[in-house]
Amino acid sequence: MTPEAKPVLTPEQQRVLARSPAQCFRHGIVQSLPFLLVLVPFGLLFGVLAAEAGLDLAQVMGFSVLVLAGASQFTAVQLLTDHAPVLIVILSALAVNLRMAMYSASLVPWLGNAKPKQRAMVAYLLIDQTYALSIRQFEDNPRLRMDQRIAYFVGTAVCACTPWLIASALGFLVGRAIPESWALDFALPITFLAMIAPMLRSLAHIAAAGVSIVAALVFTVLPSGLGILLAAPLAMATGAWVEKRTEGLRAEART
Residue ranges in the chain modelled with pLDDT below 70: 1-7, 178-196, 198-199, 223-225
State the Cα–Cα distance between residues 219 and 228, nearest whole angstrom: 8
State the Cα–Cα distance between residues 7 and 201, nearest whole angstrom: 33
What is the pLDDT, as a whole number, of residue 2?
Answer: 46
State the Cα–Cα distance between residues 14 and 158, nearest whole angstrom: 25
What is the pLDDT, as a whole number, of residue 1?
Answer: 42
What is the pLDDT, as a whole number, of residue 144?
Answer: 95
State the Cα–Cα distance between residues 19 and 25, nearest whole angstrom: 10
State the Cα–Cα distance between residues 128 and 130, nearest whole angstrom: 6
For residue range 225-254, list pLDDT tens digits in order: 677 778 878 888 898 899 888 888 888 888
What is the pLDDT, as a whole number, of residue 82?
Answer: 79
What is the pLDDT, as a whole number, of residue 72?
Answer: 86
Question: Would you say the C-alpha torsion 58, 64, 67, 72 has a positive or negative sign?
Answer: positive
Q: Give the DSSP H or E segment for 97.
A: none
What is the pLDDT, as a whole number, of residue 85?
Answer: 82
